[in-house]
Structure 1
Amino acid sequence: MRLTEIKSCYIGPEISPEQFISEHFFLYLAKGTIEGYDGISKYSLKSGEYCIVRKNHLARYNKQKENGEFEKVVMILDTEFLKSFMTKHQIKAQRYEDGASFFLLKNTNLIPNFILSLMPYYNDGGEIDDTFADLKREELLLILLKENPELKDILFDFAPPQKIDLKAYMNRNYKFNISMERFAYLTGRSISAFKRDFASIFSDTPSRWLIQRRLQEGYFLIEKKQKKPSDIYLDLGFEDLSHFSFAFKKKYGITPTDILKSIKKI
Protein backbone atom coordinates (compact mmCIF):
# COMPACT_ATOMS: atom_id res chain seq x y z
CA MET A 1 0.00 0.00 0.00
CA ARG A 2 1.37 3.42 -0.92
CA LEU A 3 1.28 6.42 1.38
CA THR A 4 -1.01 8.30 -0.97
CA GLU A 5 -3.62 5.56 -0.45
CA ILE A 6 -3.51 5.68 3.34
CA LYS A 7 -5.68 7.82 5.61
CA SER A 8 -3.99 10.94 6.97
CA CYS A 9 -3.86 9.57 10.54
CA TYR A 10 -3.52 5.91 11.39
CA ILE A 11 -2.05 3.43 13.82
CA GLY A 12 -0.98 -0.14 13.19
CA PRO A 13 1.87 -2.51 12.36
CA GLU A 14 2.07 -1.75 8.62
CA ILE A 15 4.99 0.11 7.06
CA SER A 16 4.60 1.03 3.41
CA PRO A 17 6.94 -0.88 1.08
CA GLU A 18 7.01 2.15 -1.24
CA GLN A 19 10.61 3.41 -1.33
CA PHE A 20 9.69 6.76 -2.87
CA ILE A 21 8.18 9.11 -0.29
CA SER A 22 5.40 11.03 -2.05
CA GLU A 23 4.30 13.10 0.98
CA HIS A 24 5.92 14.13 4.26
CA PHE A 25 4.81 12.06 7.21
CA PHE A 26 5.31 12.04 10.96
CA LEU A 27 6.29 8.68 12.41
CA TYR A 28 6.05 7.86 16.12
CA LEU A 29 7.30 4.44 17.17
CA ALA A 30 5.34 3.08 20.13
CA LYS A 31 6.73 -0.47 20.19
CA GLY A 32 9.65 -2.04 18.37
CA THR A 33 12.61 -0.76 16.37
CA ILE A 34 12.94 0.65 12.87
CA GLU A 35 16.19 0.77 10.94
CA GLY A 36 15.98 3.30 8.11
CA TYR A 37 18.29 3.88 5.15
CA ASP A 38 18.19 6.71 2.61
CA GLY A 39 21.11 5.92 0.33
CA ILE A 40 23.52 7.97 2.44
CA SER A 41 23.03 7.20 6.10
CA LYS A 42 21.36 4.66 8.37
CA TYR A 43 18.95 5.71 11.09
CA SER A 44 17.59 3.91 14.11
CA LEU A 45 14.25 4.65 15.73
CA LYS A 46 13.38 3.00 19.06
CA SER A 47 10.25 2.91 21.17
CA GLY A 48 9.18 6.41 22.17
CA GLU A 49 11.18 8.10 19.39
CA TYR A 50 9.81 9.93 16.37
CA CYS A 51 10.82 11.68 13.16
CA ILE A 52 9.64 13.30 9.95
CA VAL A 53 10.15 11.24 6.79
CA ARG A 54 10.53 13.70 3.93
CA LYS A 55 8.68 13.75 0.65
CA ASN A 56 10.54 13.50 -2.67
CA HIS A 57 13.14 11.30 -1.00
CA LEU A 58 14.00 7.62 -0.96
CA ALA A 59 13.81 5.48 2.15
CA ARG A 60 13.94 1.81 3.08
CA TYR A 61 12.87 0.32 6.41
CA ASN A 62 13.59 -2.78 8.43
CA LYS A 63 11.33 -3.24 11.43
CA GLN A 64 11.83 -5.42 14.48
CA LYS A 65 9.24 -6.35 17.07
CA GLU A 66 9.58 -5.73 20.78
CA ASN A 67 8.29 -8.61 22.90
CA GLY A 68 6.42 -9.83 19.85
CA GLU A 69 4.81 -6.47 19.11
CA PHE A 70 5.34 -3.63 16.65
CA GLU A 71 3.21 -0.50 16.89
CA LYS A 72 3.52 2.96 15.41
CA VAL A 73 1.50 6.11 14.76
CA VAL A 74 1.70 7.83 11.37
CA MET A 75 0.33 11.20 10.34
CA ILE A 76 0.53 12.13 6.67
CA LEU A 77 1.37 15.80 6.13
CA ASP A 78 0.22 16.13 2.55
CA THR A 79 0.75 19.18 0.35
CA GLU A 80 -2.87 20.36 0.41
CA PHE A 81 -2.98 20.29 4.21
CA LEU A 82 0.41 22.03 4.54
CA LYS A 83 -0.52 24.82 2.13
CA SER A 84 -3.71 25.47 4.08
CA PHE A 85 -1.77 25.48 7.37
CA MET A 86 0.87 27.82 5.89
CA THR A 87 -1.78 30.33 4.82
CA LYS A 88 -3.66 30.16 8.11
CA HIS A 89 -0.55 30.70 10.25
CA GLN A 90 1.24 33.04 7.81
CA ILE A 91 4.42 30.99 7.72
CA LYS A 92 7.48 32.11 5.76
CA ALA A 93 9.92 29.46 4.58
CA GLN A 94 13.02 29.08 2.45
CA ARG A 95 14.55 26.13 0.61
CA TYR A 96 16.06 23.45 2.84
CA GLU A 97 19.24 21.99 1.32
CA ASP A 98 19.97 18.95 3.51
CA GLY A 99 19.35 15.78 1.46
CA ALA A 100 18.59 13.38 4.33
CA SER A 101 15.29 11.49 4.09
CA PHE A 102 14.80 11.33 7.86
CA PHE A 103 14.57 14.44 10.04
CA LEU A 104 15.00 13.38 13.65
CA LEU A 105 12.96 15.48 16.08
CA LYS A 106 13.84 16.80 19.52
CA ASN A 107 12.45 14.84 22.43
CA THR A 108 9.73 16.66 24.31
CA ASN A 109 7.01 15.62 26.76
CA LEU A 110 4.47 17.29 24.48
CA ILE A 111 4.67 14.56 21.83
CA PRO A 112 4.01 11.51 24.07
CA ASN A 113 1.11 13.40 25.63
CA PHE A 114 -0.18 14.27 22.18
CA ILE A 115 -0.01 10.61 21.12
CA LEU A 116 -2.05 9.62 24.17
CA SER A 117 -4.64 12.26 23.26
CA LEU A 118 -5.19 10.53 19.90
CA MET A 119 -6.36 7.24 21.36
CA PRO A 120 -10.05 8.14 21.93
CA TYR A 121 -10.38 9.19 18.28
CA TYR A 122 -9.26 5.94 16.65
CA ASN A 123 -11.87 3.62 15.22
CA ASP A 124 -11.64 -0.18 15.14
CA GLY A 125 -9.68 0.02 11.88
CA GLY A 126 -6.92 2.04 13.51
CA GLU A 127 -7.79 5.28 11.69
CA ILE A 128 -8.94 8.70 12.85
CA ASP A 129 -12.15 9.98 11.30
CA ASP A 130 -11.64 12.81 8.79
CA THR A 131 -13.75 15.06 11.04
CA PHE A 132 -10.96 15.12 13.62
CA ALA A 133 -7.90 14.25 11.52
CA ASP A 134 -7.11 17.78 10.32
CA LEU A 135 -7.56 19.22 13.82
CA LYS A 136 -5.15 16.69 15.32
CA ARG A 137 -2.66 17.16 12.49
CA GLU A 138 -2.76 20.92 13.05
CA GLU A 139 -2.15 20.40 16.76
CA LEU A 140 0.79 18.11 16.01
CA LEU A 141 2.30 20.57 13.57
CA LEU A 142 2.07 23.45 16.04
CA ILE A 143 3.94 21.34 18.60
CA LEU A 144 6.61 20.27 16.13
CA LEU A 145 7.26 23.79 14.85
CA LYS A 146 7.49 25.16 18.38
CA GLU A 147 10.14 22.60 19.32
CA ASN A 148 11.84 22.42 15.88
CA PRO A 149 11.58 25.86 14.18
CA GLU A 150 13.85 24.79 11.31
CA LEU A 151 11.22 22.23 10.31
CA LYS A 152 9.24 24.95 8.53
CA ASP A 153 11.85 25.10 5.75
CA ILE A 154 11.38 21.37 5.13
CA LEU A 155 7.60 21.12 5.30
CA PHE A 156 6.68 24.31 3.46
CA ASP A 157 9.05 24.03 0.52
CA PHE A 158 6.69 23.08 -2.31
CA ALA A 159 9.15 23.40 -5.20
CA PRO A 160 9.87 20.26 -7.27
CA PRO A 161 13.35 18.71 -7.06
CA GLN A 162 16.09 20.72 -8.75
CA LYS A 163 18.33 19.35 -11.48
CA ILE A 164 21.23 17.62 -9.76
CA ASP A 165 24.36 15.60 -10.55
CA LEU A 166 22.93 12.47 -12.18
CA LYS A 167 26.07 10.31 -11.91
CA ALA A 168 26.51 10.92 -8.18
CA TYR A 169 22.80 10.41 -7.49
CA MET A 170 22.53 7.10 -9.35
CA ASN A 171 25.73 5.69 -7.86
CA ARG A 172 24.32 6.49 -4.42
CA ASN A 173 20.75 5.26 -4.99
CA TYR A 174 20.95 2.37 -7.47
CA LYS A 175 19.73 -0.11 -4.84
CA PHE A 176 16.31 1.56 -4.53
CA ASN A 177 13.59 -0.25 -6.44
CA ILE A 178 11.64 2.62 -8.01
CA SER A 179 10.54 3.44 -11.54
CA MET A 180 12.56 5.39 -14.12
CA GLU A 181 9.94 8.11 -13.89
CA ARG A 182 10.69 8.45 -10.18
CA PHE A 183 14.44 8.63 -10.78
CA ALA A 184 13.88 11.24 -13.49
CA TYR A 185 11.68 13.36 -11.21
CA LEU A 186 14.05 13.18 -8.24
CA THR A 187 17.00 14.29 -10.38
CA GLY A 188 15.03 17.26 -11.73
CA ARG A 189 14.49 15.95 -15.25
CA SER A 190 11.78 14.88 -17.64
CA ILE A 191 11.91 11.18 -18.50
CA SER A 192 13.32 11.94 -21.96
CA ALA A 193 16.03 14.23 -20.55
CA PHE A 194 16.84 11.63 -17.88
CA LYS A 195 17.37 8.88 -20.47
CA ARG A 196 19.38 11.20 -22.70
CA ASP A 197 21.66 12.39 -19.90
CA PHE A 198 21.97 8.84 -18.56
CA ALA A 199 23.16 7.50 -21.93
CA SER A 200 25.68 10.33 -22.19
CA ILE A 201 27.12 9.65 -18.74
CA PHE A 202 26.93 5.85 -18.44
CA SER A 203 26.83 4.80 -22.13
CA ASP A 204 23.92 2.50 -21.31
CA THR A 205 20.19 2.51 -20.67
CA PRO A 206 19.03 3.09 -17.07
CA SER A 207 17.39 -0.34 -16.75
CA ARG A 208 20.45 -2.28 -17.98
CA TRP A 209 22.85 -0.21 -15.91
CA LEU A 210 20.80 -0.66 -12.74
CA ILE A 211 20.72 -4.45 -13.08
CA GLN A 212 24.44 -4.67 -13.82
CA ARG A 213 25.35 -2.36 -10.94
CA ARG A 214 23.17 -4.30 -8.50
CA LEU A 215 24.67 -7.59 -9.66
CA GLN A 216 28.21 -6.26 -9.20
CA GLU A 217 27.38 -5.30 -5.64
CA GLY A 218 25.73 -8.67 -5.09
CA TYR A 219 28.81 -10.52 -6.32
CA PHE A 220 31.00 -8.50 -3.95
CA LEU A 221 28.74 -9.15 -0.95
CA ILE A 222 28.56 -12.89 -1.63
CA GLU A 223 32.22 -13.47 -2.50
CA LYS A 224 33.90 -11.06 -0.08
CA LYS A 225 31.38 -10.84 2.75
CA GLN A 226 29.88 -14.37 2.48
CA LYS A 227 26.35 -12.93 2.48
CA LYS A 228 23.47 -15.27 1.67
CA PRO A 229 21.57 -14.39 -1.52
CA SER A 230 18.30 -14.60 0.41
CA ASP A 231 19.58 -11.92 2.82
CA ILE A 232 20.63 -9.34 0.23
CA TYR A 233 18.43 -9.50 -2.88
CA LEU A 234 15.77 -7.10 -1.54
CA ASP A 235 18.36 -4.58 -0.34
CA LEU A 236 19.94 -4.71 -3.80
CA GLY A 237 16.67 -3.67 -5.45
CA PHE A 238 15.47 -7.04 -6.77
CA GLU A 239 11.83 -7.91 -6.17
CA ASP A 240 12.35 -11.64 -5.74
CA LEU A 241 15.16 -14.13 -5.18
CA SER A 242 14.55 -16.07 -8.39
CA HIS A 243 15.00 -12.94 -10.53
CA PHE A 244 18.24 -12.12 -8.73
CA SER A 245 19.57 -15.66 -9.15
CA PHE A 246 18.59 -15.83 -12.82
CA ALA A 247 20.18 -12.47 -13.68
CA PHE A 248 23.26 -13.33 -11.61
CA LYS A 249 23.85 -16.63 -13.45
CA LYS A 250 23.26 -14.97 -16.81
CA LYS A 251 25.99 -12.41 -16.06
CA TYR A 252 28.53 -14.55 -14.22
CA GLY A 253 27.77 -18.09 -15.45
CA ILE A 254 27.32 -19.37 -11.90
CA THR A 255 24.56 -19.09 -9.33
CA PRO A 256 24.99 -17.05 -6.14
CA THR A 257 24.55 -20.21 -4.07
CA ASP A 258 27.32 -22.01 -5.98
CA ILE A 259 29.72 -19.16 -5.20
CA LEU A 260 28.98 -19.55 -1.49
CA LYS A 261 29.51 -23.31 -1.70
CA SER A 262 32.86 -22.89 -3.46
CA ILE A 263 34.04 -20.42 -0.80
CA LYS A 264 33.15 -22.80 2.04
CA LYS A 265 35.16 -25.60 0.42
CA ILE A 266 38.33 -23.51 0.40
Structure 2
Amino acid sequence: MTDRAGRRPLVAGNWKMNGLKADGLALTDAVLAGVRGGAWRCELLVCPPATLLSLVGDRLKGSPVRLGAQDCHHKPSGAHTGDLAAPMLADIGCRFVIVGHSERRADHGETDAEVKAKAEAAMAATLIPIVCVGETLAMRERGDALKVVAAQLAGSLPVGASADGLVVAYEPVWAIGTGRTPTTADIGAMHQALRAELKRHLGAESDRMRILYGGSVKSSNAAEILAIDGVDGALVGGASLKAEDFLTIARACA
Protein backbone atom coordinates (compact mmCIF):
# COMPACT_ATOMS: atom_id res chain seq x y z
CA MET A 1 0.00 0.00 0.00
CA THR A 2 1.20 3.54 -0.64
CA ASP A 3 0.96 6.77 1.29
CA ARG A 4 1.38 10.43 0.34
CA ALA A 5 2.57 10.99 -3.24
CA GLY A 6 2.91 7.24 -3.75
CA ARG A 7 5.36 6.86 -0.87
CA ARG A 8 4.97 3.59 1.03
CA PRO A 9 5.99 4.04 4.68
CA LEU A 10 9.14 2.25 5.79
CA VAL A 11 9.72 1.10 9.36
CA ALA A 12 13.33 0.06 9.86
CA GLY A 13 14.81 -1.53 12.97
CA ASN A 14 18.45 -0.65 13.68
CA TRP A 15 19.68 -3.25 16.16
CA LYS A 16 23.02 -1.46 16.50
CA MET A 17 25.72 -3.43 18.39
CA ASN A 18 23.27 -5.78 20.09
CA GLY A 19 22.58 -9.49 19.86
CA LEU A 20 24.43 -12.77 19.98
CA LYS A 21 23.34 -15.61 17.71
CA ALA A 22 20.59 -16.91 20.02
CA ASP A 23 19.26 -13.41 20.74
CA GLY A 24 19.22 -12.37 17.11
CA LEU A 25 17.49 -15.49 15.84
CA ALA A 26 14.92 -15.37 18.66
CA LEU A 27 14.13 -11.74 17.83
CA THR A 28 13.89 -12.54 14.13
CA ASP A 29 11.53 -15.44 14.77
CA ALA A 30 9.34 -13.28 17.01
CA VAL A 31 9.11 -10.57 14.34
CA LEU A 32 8.25 -13.16 11.69
CA ALA A 33 5.59 -14.71 13.91
CA GLY A 34 4.02 -11.29 14.29
CA VAL A 35 3.92 -10.46 10.58
CA ARG A 36 2.51 -13.75 9.32
CA GLY A 37 -0.92 -13.48 7.80
CA GLY A 38 -1.09 -9.72 8.15
CA ALA A 39 -1.54 -7.04 5.50
CA TRP A 40 1.09 -4.42 6.27
CA ARG A 41 0.67 -0.86 5.11
CA CYS A 42 4.37 -0.22 5.62
CA GLU A 43 7.53 -1.86 4.37
CA LEU A 44 9.42 -3.63 7.16
CA LEU A 45 13.19 -3.74 7.50
CA VAL A 46 15.61 -5.05 10.12
CA CYS A 47 19.30 -4.12 10.27
CA PRO A 48 21.18 -6.55 12.52
CA PRO A 49 24.88 -6.30 13.39
CA ALA A 50 27.24 -7.73 10.77
CA THR A 51 27.75 -11.01 12.64
CA LEU A 52 24.05 -11.82 12.29
CA LEU A 53 23.34 -10.64 8.77
CA SER A 54 23.65 -14.01 7.03
CA LEU A 55 21.81 -15.93 9.77
CA VAL A 56 18.96 -13.45 9.97
CA GLY A 57 18.82 -13.18 6.19
CA ASP A 58 18.29 -16.92 5.89
CA ARG A 59 15.39 -16.70 8.34
CA LEU A 60 13.79 -13.79 6.47
CA LYS A 61 13.75 -15.46 3.05
CA GLY A 62 10.23 -15.59 1.65
CA SER A 63 8.90 -13.15 4.27
CA PRO A 64 7.78 -9.53 3.85
CA VAL A 65 10.61 -8.35 6.12
CA ARG A 66 13.64 -6.92 4.34
CA LEU A 67 17.27 -7.26 5.44
CA GLY A 68 19.60 -4.29 5.81
CA ALA A 69 23.12 -3.55 7.08
CA GLN A 70 24.27 -0.77 9.39
CA ASP A 71 27.20 0.47 7.31
CA CYS A 72 29.36 -0.27 4.28
CA HIS A 73 32.76 0.74 2.90
CA HIS A 74 32.96 3.10 -0.05
CA LYS A 75 35.19 0.72 -2.04
CA PRO A 76 33.84 -2.50 -3.60
CA SER A 77 36.83 -4.55 -2.39
CA GLY A 78 40.41 -4.18 -1.25
CA ALA A 79 42.78 -3.94 1.69
CA HIS A 80 40.35 -2.53 4.25
CA THR A 81 40.60 -4.77 7.29
CA GLY A 82 37.42 -5.03 9.31
CA ASP A 83 35.20 -3.31 6.75
CA LEU A 84 32.40 -4.71 4.61
CA ALA A 85 31.86 -3.80 0.98
CA ALA A 86 28.41 -3.09 -0.42
CA PRO A 87 28.62 -5.99 -2.95
CA MET A 88 29.28 -8.36 -0.03
CA LEU A 89 26.12 -7.14 1.68
CA ALA A 90 24.07 -7.52 -1.47
CA ASP A 91 25.51 -11.01 -1.95
CA ILE A 92 24.04 -12.23 1.36
CA GLY A 93 20.61 -10.77 0.69
CA CYS A 94 20.70 -7.21 2.02
CA ARG A 95 18.40 -4.76 0.27
CA PHE A 96 19.22 -1.64 2.30
CA VAL A 97 22.20 -0.18 4.15
CA ILE A 98 22.29 2.65 6.70
CA VAL A 99 24.98 5.25 6.01
CA GLY A 100 25.95 8.34 7.97
CA HIS A 101 24.22 7.45 11.22
CA SER A 102 25.15 10.03 13.85
CA GLU A 103 26.88 7.33 15.91
CA ARG A 104 29.14 6.58 12.93
CA ARG A 105 29.71 10.29 12.32
CA ALA A 106 30.63 10.80 15.99
CA ASP A 107 32.45 7.55 16.83
CA HIS A 108 34.34 7.25 13.54
CA GLY A 109 34.55 10.87 12.43
CA GLU A 110 32.65 10.24 9.21
CA THR A 111 32.28 13.33 7.03
CA ASP A 112 29.49 14.19 4.63
CA ALA A 113 31.86 13.35 1.76
CA GLU A 114 32.47 9.87 3.18
CA VAL A 115 28.76 9.31 3.68
CA LYS A 116 28.13 10.37 0.07
CA ALA A 117 30.79 7.94 -1.16
CA LYS A 118 29.28 5.11 0.86
CA ALA A 119 25.81 5.90 -0.47
CA GLU A 120 27.13 5.84 -4.04
CA ALA A 121 28.87 2.51 -3.37
CA ALA A 122 25.62 1.12 -2.02
CA MET A 123 23.69 2.23 -5.09
CA ALA A 124 26.32 0.71 -7.37
CA ALA A 125 25.75 -2.61 -5.59
CA THR A 126 21.94 -2.28 -6.06
CA LEU A 127 21.43 -1.53 -2.37
CA ILE A 128 19.19 1.29 -1.16
CA PRO A 129 21.16 3.61 1.15
CA ILE A 130 19.38 5.18 4.11
CA VAL A 131 21.24 8.47 4.47
CA CYS A 132 21.05 9.84 8.02
CA VAL A 133 21.19 13.51 8.97
CA GLY A 134 20.55 15.36 12.22
CA GLU A 135 21.64 18.16 14.51
CA THR A 136 23.06 18.18 18.04
CA LEU A 137 21.26 19.88 20.93
CA ALA A 138 23.72 22.78 20.87
CA MET A 139 23.00 23.35 17.18
CA ARG A 140 19.25 23.36 17.80
CA GLU A 141 19.52 25.69 20.78
CA ARG A 142 21.54 28.12 18.64
CA GLY A 143 18.75 28.09 16.07
CA ASP A 144 20.96 26.37 13.50
CA ALA A 145 19.11 23.06 13.16
CA LEU A 146 17.59 23.68 9.73
CA LYS A 147 20.81 25.14 8.32
CA VAL A 148 22.99 22.33 9.67
CA VAL A 149 20.73 19.53 8.46
CA ALA A 150 20.32 21.11 5.02
CA ALA A 151 24.12 21.30 4.69
CA GLN A 152 24.52 17.68 5.83
CA LEU A 153 21.97 16.56 3.28
CA ALA A 154 23.60 18.51 0.46
CA GLY A 155 27.01 17.04 1.29
CA SER A 156 25.76 13.48 1.76
CA LEU A 157 23.44 13.06 -1.24
CA PRO A 158 24.80 10.52 -3.72
CA VAL A 159 25.08 11.42 -7.38
CA GLY A 160 22.30 9.81 -9.42
CA ALA A 161 19.91 9.39 -6.49
CA SER A 162 16.38 8.35 -7.39
CA ALA A 163 13.18 8.04 -5.40
CA ASP A 164 13.27 4.26 -5.60
CA GLY A 165 16.97 4.05 -4.77
CA LEU A 166 17.43 6.33 -1.76
CA VAL A 167 15.87 6.95 1.65
CA VAL A 168 16.66 9.88 3.95
CA ALA A 169 16.38 9.61 7.74
CA TYR A 170 16.20 12.64 10.01
CA GLU A 171 17.56 11.77 13.46
CA PRO A 172 18.19 14.63 15.87
CA VAL A 173 21.34 13.53 17.67
CA TRP A 174 20.06 14.68 21.05
CA ALA A 175 16.96 12.46 20.75
CA ILE A 176 18.76 9.17 19.96
CA GLY A 177 18.53 6.80 22.89
CA THR A 178 17.65 9.58 25.33
CA GLY A 179 13.89 9.18 25.53
CA ARG A 180 13.53 12.80 24.36
CA THR A 181 11.83 13.72 21.10
CA PRO A 182 11.27 17.02 19.32
CA THR A 183 7.77 18.44 19.25
CA THR A 184 5.53 17.32 16.43
CA ALA A 185 5.79 20.86 15.05
CA ASP A 186 9.59 20.65 15.03
CA ILE A 187 9.56 17.24 13.33
CA GLY A 188 7.08 18.47 10.74
CA ALA A 189 9.09 21.61 10.05
CA MET A 190 12.30 19.65 9.56
CA HIS A 191 10.68 17.14 7.24
CA GLN A 192 9.18 19.95 5.17
CA ALA A 193 12.59 21.62 4.99
CA LEU A 194 14.24 18.35 3.95
CA ARG A 195 11.60 17.82 1.26
CA ALA A 196 12.28 21.31 -0.09
CA GLU A 197 16.04 20.65 -0.09
CA LEU A 198 15.57 17.35 -1.89
CA LYS A 199 13.44 19.09 -4.50
CA ARG A 200 16.10 21.75 -4.94
CA HIS A 201 18.78 19.10 -5.54
CA LEU A 202 16.79 16.41 -7.35
CA GLY A 203 13.73 18.11 -8.82
CA ALA A 204 10.37 16.39 -9.13
CA GLU A 205 11.99 13.00 -8.56
CA SER A 206 12.18 13.89 -4.86
CA ASP A 207 8.39 13.92 -4.44
CA ARG A 208 8.40 10.12 -4.14
CA MET A 209 11.50 9.85 -1.93
CA ARG A 210 10.86 8.67 1.61
CA ILE A 211 12.01 10.70 4.61
CA LEU A 212 11.99 8.78 7.90
CA TYR A 213 12.08 10.09 11.45
CA GLY A 214 14.37 8.50 14.04
CA GLY A 215 15.21 9.32 17.63
CA SER A 216 13.51 7.65 20.61
CA VAL A 217 10.66 6.30 18.51
CA LYS A 218 8.70 3.85 20.66
CA SER A 219 5.35 2.13 20.76
CA SER A 220 3.85 4.89 22.91
CA ASN A 221 4.68 7.80 20.56
CA ALA A 222 4.80 6.12 17.15
CA ALA A 223 1.21 6.89 16.12
CA GLU A 224 1.65 10.59 16.85
CA ILE A 225 4.98 10.80 15.02
CA LEU A 226 3.90 8.75 11.99
CA ALA A 227 0.80 10.92 11.59
CA ILE A 228 2.91 14.05 11.04
CA ASP A 229 2.67 15.35 7.50
CA GLY A 230 5.84 14.49 5.60
CA VAL A 231 6.99 11.65 7.87
CA ASP A 232 7.23 8.53 5.70
CA GLY A 233 8.18 6.01 8.37
CA ALA A 234 10.63 5.51 11.20
CA LEU A 235 14.19 4.43 11.84
CA VAL A 236 13.82 2.65 15.17
CA GLY A 237 16.68 1.94 17.57
CA GLY A 238 16.14 0.43 21.02
CA ALA A 239 12.47 -0.33 20.48
CA SER A 240 13.36 -2.60 17.56
CA LEU A 241 15.03 -5.03 19.98
CA LYS A 242 11.62 -6.10 21.25
CA ALA A 243 9.48 -7.69 18.55
CA GLU A 244 6.13 -6.51 19.90
CA ASP A 245 7.33 -2.92 20.30
CA PHE A 246 8.72 -2.93 16.77
CA LEU A 247 5.51 -4.38 15.34
CA THR A 248 3.37 -1.94 17.33
CA ILE A 249 5.31 0.91 15.73
CA ALA A 250 4.80 -0.65 12.30
CA ARG A 251 1.07 -1.01 12.93
CA ALA A 252 0.93 2.70 13.74
CA CYS A 253 1.46 3.42 10.03
CA ALA A 254 -2.25 2.70 9.65
- Structure 2 length normalisation: TM-score? 0.26
Question: Relative contact order (alpha carbons < 8 A, sep ≥ 6): 1 or 2 greater?
Answer: 2
Select the structure of larger CA radius of gyration: 1
- Structure 1 length normalisation: TM-score? 0.25
